[in-house]
Structure 1
Amino acid sequence: MFDLLVTETNRYAAQVLANKIDTLKLHSRVNNWKNVDTSEMRAFISILFVMGLSKKPSYESYWSRWQRHFQPDREVSVDESMIAYKSQTGLLQYMPNKPHKWGIKSWGLADSRTGYMWNWQVYTGRQEGGRPHGLTYEVVTSLCQPLYGKGHHVYMDNFFISPTLFQELSDNQTGACGTLRAYRLDVPQPVKDARPKAGDDPHLFRDNEFLYITWTEKRKVNLLTSIHNGSCFFKRVRSKASPNCFREVRKPKAVQLYSQHMGGVDLADKQLQYNMVLHRCCRWWKKVFLYLMELSFNNALVIFKAANPGKRVNSEKFTLVIATKFLEGYDRLGVVKPGHPAASLERPARLTARHFPGKTQENKNKGKMSCNDCVVCSNRTARRHQTTFICKSCNVYMCPVPCFERYHSLVNYRITCNPGLHD
């Protein structure tokens, strides 16, 4: 993953430089661009994780991989999610019932118990040619397809559910349950006509392996399930009108189990809020990347808890451990701070300017070329080595191979000369 990030980052930078080469200002920071490597990318991700631990008002103040490492429980849920975003993009959506009303819509399949995001895809808008069975049918089937034949139970809300979708899941040994919009195609007429009152027994209608349940407490609920029966239980709920402020309600077990297992994607979104990276972006793809990175962190935390049952896990300490691991191998030497840094931290000019080798023009007696000790490999106490080559920019004596390259690329460039050094 990090190799891919490095490759695409450097490729994007090359495209930007090529497109703006004639319009860049003299002091534009783009002129100072240098290709990144894996250690720098890991360090950047580490900083993003740590930024999530301490939220500041500004920067200056401070997918298949998921499926390979975790097997969800039998109960999973499918739902939509919103990546908060307000800048211009063709993917921008408005959903007034979501906490983030503006953003990029995505679909997710999550483990109901832990909130592990097992499968995910972004909504890219309408497709040419349309969809034969509708958008929601294709979303659910594409998310659930890797789970086919394993006996999972998928919970979803009335935005997704249709009898046609349930038949597809049933044909692939996958159970399903969720609330239903009665006006959907292929919904039996008795279900559309059912209007039980509060306190009445639920209306049940069996259609082959599917069970339709219509039940009213505060408002009518239509439920479609292929994994439950019509059994009920008595539940104690609050009621101001009752003498002891409580009353018993006869509730279908299927409705209770739906409420229990539906919130996998919402649980994942909730857990993201605890250590969300503070990163304002003008590019939608950066926002999506950061969202996926946060989901990956949450999934990693779920895996760690599953591998260490009974162990208390602090998410902040877990973040710091990951950030520290990402920083391993990152060389901080040579990085210059803005402003007026101390002289010891300044990057020497020999490592940044343009340099060309040449021969000294000074002459000694008898017309011979002048020579002097190599600044890299010569050591008067161990092994002295003299050369006639110099760097034209630095005006320093050094051997062409390998001393010239060491002097202009390494902070600690000194080396002791040996018989095979200049071969």
Structure 2
Amino acid sequence: MDIFLSSQSSQFSGFGLSDLEDESESPGSVSPPSSVRTSDLSFDEESDGASDLSDRNPDSDIEEDNDELPDSDGEFDSQLSEIPSSQLTSTSDEDFWSEQLEDIDIPDFSEMTGPVHMLPLNAQAVDFFQLFFEEQFFQHLTEQTNLYAQQTSENDQHWEEVTTAEIKAFIGINILMGVMQLSSYRLYWSSDPFLGNTGIRSVMTENRFSKLYQYIHVNNNQTAVPRDSEGFDKLHKVRPMINMVEHTFKDHYKPKQNQTVDEAMVKYKGRFSIKQYMPGKPIKRGMKVWMRADSTSGYCHQFNVYMGKDDPNKGPKLGEKVVKLLCKDLKWKGHHIYMDRYFTSVPLLRCLERNGIYGCGTIKCTSIGLPDDITDPPRMARGESIARQNGNLVATVWQDKKKVHFLSTNSNPTGEGSTFRREKNGTRVEIDRPPPVEGYHNFMGGVDRNNQLRAKTPVGRPAKKWWKYLFFYMINLCITNGYIVMSESVGYQPRKERVFFVGF
């Protein structure tokens, strides 16, 4: 991916660095993302994709409490009367699954989609970045950094109040460090011509950069609600930034029809109560983030940091509640949601459909509500499938290397689809692939796409404070979303060897 930083070093003028703690990981860094899981279902070579989908243990992702929270269907169903009854799945006999298969009936998608902004045709990369990272937030960072330094640096004779221009320069340097990665930040100020960066040295000294990294702050600590009190917020330190990006992400890109709900990880190995350990993931330790992203571009529309045992949505139905939370803005618009087996359930897809949202996902064969001939199918040859239908709700089991189960409300139960697999003797064979598998393969990779784009620009340096990892993670999301908006904007002419910089 092209990177976001400023092509004119003179734009960094005004940069004006307490000692940085060198640790093993960087706040904004992400490990190389795992291959998009949907592609595992369509590789020419024989793969373990189906095995990965079928055998994934969702319980290994998080620690769930047994406390049951009230279902949030009521909130979703509050406007149910606006949906014509002809568009609803029959619920008179929810346990009835028919062998008589017919095409589903869902409305056409007619929403406006794509970038929304008033930037001119000659807008620079920095202009797209600042659609999401607003000018007033730079001023907020300046005020909070000076306030925090005043509260904690009474005996620090080397601190001088920071200006907004320096805050912009500080963030720009961190972005540039993601483009040109060195083992230690001090090397950027090296006198060695093969290591040192002349542009960075001309904008800000090493000591000033270090001081800004020490005192950079997002929110006033003195306004935090004490622990064990009503209104306590574990994310208080970054809450203003979360609030900012939540509305800028919504304002400048209208979601396309196909959306992906999945998880992302912010790498962090320090001590923090919401940190998760997932041994089967590329990033094994860190903060889990639920995300809804565009299935093709990877644009992040909405995210929610998982709070562990203190999460308000905790409980056995966590996956369902996460999807409902992330899809509130899509009600009655006819979007299609793709998800994996951790989230998918019969009640969830029925609830989404009642609110004008259609879904498709892999599902555990032991899930409640599936028909017996789907949960326990007979032996099948590779490429064969069995489907059962209840209105628009279609349950499918497809034989790849192993059996993979799907549940959908947006795919016909039968259709002409195929993919290729490679046999042990090296020959390629074509096998049938039903429409739910086809749709899942094409549209499940949105969050993975976002992770791939972020991995190209790992913003931030190592730190001991957990909130700095989320801080730089959100900067990374702003860069990624800005790049996507810029790429899809009218009049944008991409060039193969063009490198974009964020300059302030």
Shorter-chain TM-score above 0.5: yes
Structure 2 counterpart SS, 1:277: coil
Equivalent residue, structure 2, for 1:35? 161
CA distance in 1, matches of 2:321, 2:476: 26
1:15/1:168 Cα in 2 relative to 1: closer, same or farther (>3 Å)? farther
- CA shift, 1:234, in A, is 4.9
1:12/1:278 Cα in 2 relative to 1: closer, same or farther (>3 Å)? closer
Contact kept in structure 2, 1:301 and 1:315, CA below 8 Å: no
Unpaired runs of at least 5, structure 2: 1-136, 189-244
Structure 2 counterpart SS, 1:187: coil
CA distance in 2, matches of 1:129, 1:269: 26
Which of residues 341, 361, 366 in structure 2 aligns to 1:178?
361
Equivalent residue, structure 1, for 2:331? 148
Structure 2 counterpart SS, 1:52: helix
CA distance in 2, matches of 1:247, 1:55: 44
1:108/1:200 Cα in 2 relative to 1: closer, same or farther (>3 Å)? closer
- CA shift, 1:254, in A, is 1.6
CA distance in 2, matches of 1:105, 1:129: 15
Contact kept in structure 2, 1:82 and 1:98, CA below 8 Å: no
CA distance in 2, matches of 1:44, 1:234: 52
Equivalent residue, structure 2, for 1:169? 352
Equivalent residue, structure 2, for 1:13? 149
Contact kept in structure 2, 1:5 and 1:41, CA below 8 Å: yes
Equivalent residue, structure 1, for 2:473? 291
Tell me which stretches of 4 or more aligned residues in structure 1 moved more than 6 Å. none
Contact kept in structure 1, 2:261 and 2:290, CA below 8 Å: yes
Equivalent residue, structure 2, for 1:116? 299
1:47/1:248 Cα in 2 relative to 1: closer, same or farther (>3 Å)? same
Contact kept in structure 2, 1:196 and 1:214, CA below 8 Å: no
Equivalent residue, structure 2, for 1:69? 252
Equivalent residue, structure 1, for 2:448? 266
Structure 2 counterpart SS, 1:281: coil
1:179/1:118 Cα in 2 relative to 1: closer, same or farther (>3 Å)? same
Q: Deviations over 1:29-79 (max 9, x none)?
A: x34333323222111111111111100001001122111001121111000
CA distance in 2, matches of 1:147, 1:169: 10
Contact kept in structure 2, 1:196 and 1:203, CA below 8 Å: no
CA distance in 1, matches of 2:378, 2:304: 38
1:226 aligns with 2:362: no
Contact kept in structure 2, 1:6 and 1:37, CA below 8 Å: yes
- CA shift, 1:215, in A, is 0.8
1:116/1:184 Cα in 2 relative to 1: closer, same or farther (>3 Å)? same
The code of the aligned residue for 1:60 comes to R
Instruction: Report the TM-score when normalising by structure 2.
Output: 0.58
1:238/1:148 Cα in 2 relative to 1: closer, same or farther (>3 Å)? same
1:312/1:198 Cα in 2 relative to 1: closer, same or farther (>3 Å)? same
1:234/1:196 Cα in 2 relative to 1: closer, same or farther (>3 Å)? farther
Q: Could you say which structure has the larger radius of gyration? A: 1
- CA shift, 1:300, in A, is 0.3
- Segment of structure 1 superposing worse, 227-236 or 127-136: 127-136
Structure 2 counterpart SS, 1:98: coil
1:91/1:155 Cα in 2 relative to 1: closer, same or farther (>3 Å)? same
Structure 1 counterpart SS, 2:174: helix
CA-based RMSD? 2.2
Unpaired runs of at least 5, structure 1: 25-29, 327-423
Equivalent residue, structure 2, for 1:46? 172
- CA shift, 1:176, in A, is 0.5
Which of residues 130, 140, 148 in structure 2 aligns to 1:4?
140
Q: Deviations over 1:202-247 (max 9, x none)?
A: 11111233100011110111000000011233535243356x8121
Q: Deviations over 1:86-140 (max 9, x none)?
A: 1111121111222111111111110111111111111111237865772112211
CA distance in 1, matches of 2:421, 2:396: 24
